[in-house]
Amino acid sequence: MKDASLVHQNALRRPASLNWSQWYLSILKGAVGLLLILLITLLWLLRQNDIDEQRSTLIADVLWLEQSVRFHLEGNSEQLRQLVLDLTRAKDRDALFILRARHILKNNSELLQLLWLDTAAAAVHGMPTKSLPRHGKDASGQDPVNRSIELAQLGKPSYSDAYWVDDAAQFEVYVPIFDESEHRGTLLAVYSLDGLLTQHVPWWFAKKYQVRIIDGNGKTLASKSNIDAAPTTISYPVIFDPPGYGMVLQVTAYRGADNLAQTLIAALIVILAAAVFWSLWAVRGLIQRRLYAEQALRSEYAFRKAMEDSLMVGMRARDMEGRVSYVNPAFLQMVGFSADELIGLAPPMPYWAPEEMERTLQLHNEVLEGKAPHEGFEIRLMRKNGSRFDALVYEA
């Protein structure tokens, strides 16, 4: 019984297969976790690469837009300078101004008004009206007379700061008129900032970016954007000069479909990884329960076998055809045969004594027919070495 107890205790110990299973599942979980980290890192690197490429493209596009607008403003200033030269040489200055002003305003829809001012800053002619765009001091704190005097001293075009008229931001450009070095007046052109963006920001540019003109305080003066798209944090400001005065042309990239696709892919990867982790955890639980059940079965079998092996009584089992299916060590010790020599054999058995063969076979048939005596029967058997011994047999 002591040996049986030791066998039972050893069988209850943690099986090596359970340790191996947990180690294997830990390796799998570590591999999945590492794969998840690598995929997220790859997506992050791709995202950063896309951001860098988008920023580089954005900067190039912003510089192109700024250059395009600046060239246009400088080109308009050259047209106004040419008009000034023509006015100083023309005989019918009024007709020339009206004709050229109409042409300039028609070809530049961002220009709201073109005025011819005298040295006292009074309107001589104007298109479409002669009324000044504003009265009193301008954004620089000067009135139009002082502005004309300043231009006469500088001898070159000058721009004003942006100001608001009817909820729309605009600015002015002043071009002095000189006749033989004598100041004769000023040409004043009024620009609409909204009109400037409308005319000179192409559709493909507005589809990709949000364009804003902001003042030195960060207030938006004009903008052009696609209201259906969401802007990103990728933006690039560039100084808007002319007209200057701290105005900035700021362009912000829209969130593209590729960014949304990458975000969706990353979310799906995280979800799939979580599902794999959950599956591994569930499989781990199932394997543990199965291994513990198998271990309990092995423990029970080991205990029963230990009990059987410790018996001093021989035990033998036969199938319905009389073939030997099981023998315990005590029985093997009695007859002197090994289990491999007996299991699977059909009558007559090698341990039947020849002189008792007929009676033994008769008892065997009665047992198979269910007629074995309940009190058992005595019979003579033969060991492998030929020696005989008497045994009391109980069949059930």
More confident residue, 197 or 328: 197
Closest CA to 44 of 270, 272, 271: 270
Confidence class of residue 316 from pLDDT cuts 50, 70 and 90? confident
Residue 378, domain member (yes or no)? yes
Name the least confident of 141-155, 223-237, 240-254: 141-155
3-class SS of residue 145: helix
Q: Residue 121's closest CA among 113, 137, 132, 105?
A: 132
Residue 175 belongs to some domain of the structure: no
Does pLDDT of 114 surpass 50? yes
Per-residue pLDDT of 11-56, as tens digits, reads 444 455 556 666 766 777 777 778 778 877 877 887 777 778 878 8
Q: What is the pLDDT of residues 272-301, one digit of tens each?
A: 777 877 877 777 777 778 877 887 888 777
Whether residue 246 has pLDDT greater than 80: yes
Where in the sequence is the domain holding 356, given as residue range(s)? 311-393
* Domain CATH number, residue 333: 3.30.450.20
C-beta of residue 395 within 8 angstroms of C-beta of residue 367: yes
Q: 340 lies in a domain?
A: yes
108 or 339: which leads in pLDDT? 108
Strands (E), 160-279: 163-165, 168-179, 182-192, 209-214, 220-224, 231-239, 248-254
Question: Residue 228 pLDDT more than 50?
Answer: yes
CB within 8 Å of 196: residues ≥ 6 apart: 69, 110, 213, 222
Global pTM reads 0.58
The predicted structure's pLDDT at residue 25: 65
Is there a domain that residue 181 lies in? no
Q: Does residue 327 fall inside a structural domain?
A: yes
Tell me what the mean pLDDT of segment 71-80 comes to.
Answer: 91
Number of domain units in the chain:
1
Answer yes or no: is pLDDT of 385 > 70.
Answer: yes
- Rounded to 5 degrees, φ, ψ at 189 are -115, 135
**pLDDT score recorded for residue 343:** 87
- Average of pLDDT values for 86-113? 88
Top mean pLDDT of 229-243, 255-269, 300-314 is at 229-243
- 381, β-bridge pairs: 352, 389
Tell which wins on pLDDT, 146 or 230.
146
The percent of residues in the chain predicted with pLDDT above 70, rounded, is 84
Q: Kindly report, residue by residue over 357-383, the tens digit of the pLDDT.
A: 888 888 888 888 877 777 778 888 888
> Is 325 a domain residue?
yes
Does 8 have pLDDT greater than 50? Answer: no
Class of residue 150 by CB neighbours under 10 A (exposed 0-12, middle 13-18, buried 19+): middle
Specify if 125 maps to a domain: no
Share of residues in the chain with pLDDT > 90 (%): 16
Average pLDDT score over the chain: 80
Please report where in the chains the tokens 């035990």 appear, as a residue: 315
Q: Which residues are paired to 363 by β-bridges?
A: none
Q: In a 3-state reduction of DSSP, which class is residue 209?
A: strand
Top mean pLDDT of 5-9, 119-123, 151-155 is at 119-123
Q: Which has the higher per-residue pLDDT, 304 or 236?
A: 236
156-167 average pLDDT score: 85
Residues 96 and 62: their CA atoms lie apart, in Å, by: 38
Mean pLDDT of 82-92: 84
Residue 37 lies in a domain: no
